[in-house]
Amino acid sequence: MSQKVILACHQCHSRNYSTTKTAQDRTERLQINKYCRTCGKHTTHLETK
């Protein structure tokens, strides 16, 4: 069973990406390094609620 999550930039808080994750495997929030078009550089993107 997978769950849809939205990723937001850690610096500017813009919601840029959406992805899926399995609820059974991961209990902590997802954290991925991705490119932010608003900041213009690679930043850490965190899972939002």
Statement: residue 24 has pLDDT above 80: no
Rounded Cα distance, 37 and 2, in Å: 27
Q: What average pLDDT does this structure show over 7-13?
A: 96
What is the DSSP secondary structure assignment for residue 4, as one 8-state letter? E
Q: How many CB atoms lie within 10 A of CB 10?
A: 14
Could you tell me what percent of the chain has a pLDDT over 90? 69
Question: pTM value?
Answer: 0.81
Rounded Cα distance, 21 and 5, in Å: 7
What domains can you pick out in the chain, each with its CATH number?
Answer: 2-47 (2.20.28.120)
